[in-house]
Every structure is written in C-alpha cells, then in structure tokens.
C-alpha cells in the first residue's frame, strides 16, 4: 500500500494519548475525519461520509473506547467501529488480519490503527459482496436505505462536549446511554 503525504497530517490530527483513555467524539469531528480519511480520499472504494457517521453512531455512539457485548460466536467488538476479535485483532498480543491488540489499539483515542483496519475490512467486503459496509451489522440494520441517516442534514454538526474518558468512565457513560457493556 502506498504511503500518502496526507496520512501523516491525518495521523497527527488523530493522535491522542494512548494511555488507557478513549475519546467520545461528536458528529462534527468525525465528519471532518471521514471527509479527509483514507477511506474517502485514497481508496478505490469511495464511500459516503454519512454512512460512516451512521455506522459509528449505531456501533459505538461515537465512543472510541466502546467494547460491545459478547457475540453469539463468543467474539467481542472493539472501539469506534466495533471491530471483531474473531478476524481482525488479537486479545493478548498484536495479531490477526489487522495485526493489532484489540483492547489496546482499538479502544484508545488514536484512530490511526482503527482506520487502517477499517480500510482493509471495507476493501475485502467490497470485493466479496460489492459493498464494504456489509461488514457491519449495524450499518445493514440501521443505515442502509434509511434516508434519514443518509442526509447531511441529519448529521449537521451539533456541538457536544467532546472529552477524554477513562475506560471505566466510558463504560458508565455507555450504560447511561442504554448500551450494554461487557465488564
């Protein structure tokens, strides 16, 4: 994969301390990120910013430290994009298809490794099914074909306090939002 000059700029923009802190983003921040991201600018699999906003909202409520509940197959999903440890990351060390450690690399506020993995997942599912978003259950259930979520009007940048959170605080915040968290 070629190195692109804007990757460095995006990486610096996304780089947050990875010391056990996640970040709860707002739609504005993510809209900017997705507009400038690898997924939208350099990939031959161009995709909609609104689809990414919808996906990350329903997967993690824009929370980079989200850890989903146990799936039927025994796997867990991590981070902003809820990436599964079944295929993409390993629990105890770097590994699997994205060569990362799930609970370390996908739950911090640094989205660089998440975005690299998302690019890979999106590309593979584009080749397999014709639509890279098919990799995410939440997108299929809540975003695909939903006109409300596919318009930029819905995702207008409502300012919301964005803050760093400790993982424990993030879990409580997610529970308060009605999301189940595996502890």
pLDDT in tens, 126-140: 999 999 999 999 999
What the chain holds in terms of domains, given with CATH numbers, is 5-175 (1.10.530.10)
114 belongs to the catalytic site:
no
The rounded distance, in Å, linking the Cα atoms of 131 and 154 is 22
Share above pLDDT 90 across residues of the chain, in percent, rounded to a whole number:
39
The band of 165, judged by pLDDT with boundaries at 50, 70 and 90, is: very low
Of 90-104, 116-130, 154-168, which range is least confident? 154-168
Active-site residue, selected from the candidate residues 29, 51, 73, 77: 77
Going along 21-72, which residue ranges are E strands?
A: 21-24
The rounded distance, in Å, linking the Cα atoms of 27 and 158 is 7
pLDDT in tens, 150-162: 566 666 665 444 4
77 belongs to the catalytic site:
yes
Across 105-125, b (16+ Cβ under 10 Å) vs e yields bbbbbbbbbbbbbbbbbbbeb
The answer to whether residue 163 scores a pLDDT higher than 70 is no
């Amino acid at each position: 994969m070629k190195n692109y000059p804007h990757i460095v700029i995006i990486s610096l923009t996304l780089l947050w301390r990875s010391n056990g802190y996640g970040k709860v983003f707002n739609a504005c921040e993510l809209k900017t990120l997705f507009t400038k991201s690898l997924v939208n600018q350099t990939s031959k699999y161009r995709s909609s910013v609104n689809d990414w906003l919808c996906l990350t909202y329903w997967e993690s409520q824009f929370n980079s430290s989200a850890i989903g509940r146990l799936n039927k197959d025994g796997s867990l999903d991590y981070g902003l994009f809820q990436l599964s440890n079944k295929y993409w990351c390993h629990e105890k060390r770097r590994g699997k298809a994205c060569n990362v450690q799930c609970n370390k690399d996908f739950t911090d506020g640094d989205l660089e490794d998440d975005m690299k993995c998302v690019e890979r997942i999106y590309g593979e599912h584009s080749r397999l099914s014709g639509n890279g978003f098919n990799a995410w259950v939440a997108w299929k259930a809540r975003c695909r074909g939903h006109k409300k979520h596919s318009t930029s009007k819905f995702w207008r940048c409502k300012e919301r306090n964005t803050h760093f959170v400790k993982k424990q605080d993030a879990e409580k915040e997610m529970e308060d939002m009605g999301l189940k968290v595996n502890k």
